A and B are shown apart, each in its own frame.
Chain A
Amino acid sequence: MRLVADLFLLAGALLCLLAALGILRMPDVYNRIQAGTKASTLGVLCILAGIGLLQPAWWPKLVAIAGFILFTSPVGSSTLARAFYRAGVKVWQPPGKEASR
């Protein structure tokens, strides 16, 4: 049981690392939002699942945190994306291709 929980924790931490790597490597803000949001959301969920297995007494609060993250993470990134779009931030195009917008 402990091993399964630890693997969940490790997977979650790895996903968070991928999210950070994503915002470091991606070429423009929209792609960074994509990489950052998805990976960090599942990362937190994995860590919550792992802790829930280790400490069954904490699960009500863990469920509350999970629901909260599942709601705020996409809303926050959509709000950011819309703000950048309205402020006129362009979408990155691969080099050699004409910007279409």
Chain B
Amino acid sequence: MILPDINLLEGFALLLLGCALMLGLFRLILGPAAPDRLVAADTLGVIATAGLILLAWLLGSALYLDVALVYGVLAFVGVVALARAIEGERT
């Protein structure tokens, strides 16, 4: 793993994203019901995409951009599928 010269601001940005992921995880674990967890998962997907894009720069590899794109697609499809499942459950 080759790290380019990371300055303080970039490291701090990565730290903030890590904190964001952790706060989102709290909501995912605390619930209290399925919809709350689903919303948390949706937002976490977007934040994780942002994290992957930042990592692409920090690790100096464009491959992470493809990973971010595919992760975003899968998160979106998963959320829509689960939303459809909730919708069909009680109507």
Contacts and interface: CB of A to CB of B under 8 A. Distances in A.
- Complex contact flag A–B (Cβ < 8 Å): yes
Contact of B86 (A2, A7, A24, A84): A84
Given A20-B24, A32-B40, A40-B50, 10 more contacts: A6-B13, A13-B14, A17-B17, A20-B22, A24-B23, A40-B43, A40-B47, A47-B53, A48-B53, A72-B76
Contacts of A6: 7, 9-10, 13
Contact of B79 (A24, A44, A47, A79): A79
Nearest to A54: B57
Interface string B51-66: 0011011000010011
Interface string A74-101: 0111011011101111000000000000
Given A12-B13, A82-B87, A29 B46 contact: no
B54 A47 contact: yes
B89 to A, nearest CB: 6
Interface in B8-65: 9-10, 12-17, 19-24, 26-27, 35-36, 38-40, 42-43, 46-47, 49-50, 53-54, 56-57, 62, 65
Question: How large, as a class, is the contact surface on chain A?
Answer: 35 or more
B33 to A, nearest CB: 8
B20 A36 contact: no
14 contacts: A2-B7, A6-B7, A9-B13, A20-B22, A20-B43, A41-B46, A44-B53, A55-B57, A65-B65, A65-B68, A65-B72, A76-B76, A80-B42, A88-B90
